[in-house]
Amino acid sequence: MDKNDNELAEQVRQRLCEADRQLIELLGFEVESLEPGRAVVNMLVRPDMANSGGACQGGLIFALADHAFAYACMSGNRAGVTLSANIIYSNPAMVGSRLTATAVVQNEGGRTGSCSVDVSDQNGILIAQFSGVHYKTKLEIVSQL
């Protein structure tokens, strides 16, 4: 991991955030950092994110983890998609809490990779554990010409 990899990851972060602008606004995601193989994304749980029980909808916690997962997997400048994922919900996230998803790539091959994501709240309580398989396309995110 050298300075060039870090700089590239930052360029990828900027390009992805630009393209994801509408989605990020809808879901309230804030991409805090992207380093080679590691991404951190935050989210404040708003009232319109609640399920009928008053806690953050599990689907949105998945979306947060999946977003961090995707950024971590694409940090090397190859566009890709989530093939499959598993999420375990550990504790509820109440409205008003600030969630942080930290994604770390575990393994990478030529076309696939795996990555784990922990989602915690502002008190360090584990909200969910996510792990997924990523598929890499041949497309670059930031042109290297």
Partner 1 sequence: MSNKTVDPDVRAKIETSPFAAALGITYEEIGSGYCRVSLEIKPQHLNFHGTTHGGVIFALGDVAFAAACNSYGQTAFALNVDVSFLTGTSVGDHLVGEAKEISLNGPIGLYALTVKHAETGTLVAQSQAMAYRKRDSLI
Sites of contact with partner 1 (CB under 8 A): 15-16, 19-20, 22-23, 25-27, 47-53, 55-60, 62-64, 66-67, 70, 79, 81-89, 92, 141
Q: Which two tokens stand for residue 76?
A: 């090397």
Q: Which is nearer to partner 1, 1 or 59 (CB)?
A: 59
CB-facing half-sphere around the CA of 3: CA atoms within 13 A: 0
Q: Which is nearer to partner 1, 50 or 104 (CB)?
A: 50
Q: ∠ CA(88), CA(92), CA(93), 5° rounding?
A: 110
Q: Which two tokens stand for residue 40?
A: 């951190």
Minimum distance of partner 1 from residue 139's CB (angstroms): 9
Q: How many CB atoms lie within 10 A of CB 137?
A: 11
Q: Which is nearer to partner 1, 1 or 83 (CB)?
A: 83
Minimum distance of partner 1 from residue 82's CB (angstroms): 5
Q: Which is nearer to partner 1, 27 or 125 (CB)?
A: 27
Comparing C-alpha atoms, which of 61, 139, 78, 69 is closest to residue 104? 69
Give Cα separations from 117 to 36, 100, 113, 139, 144 (angstroms): 15, 10, 13, 24, 29
Q: Which is nearer to partner 1, 1 or 143 (CB)?
A: 143
Minimum distance of partner 1 from residue 2's CB (angstroms): 25
Minimum distance of partner 1 from residue 98's CB (angstroms): 17
Minimum distance of partner 1 from residue 47's CB (angstroms): 6
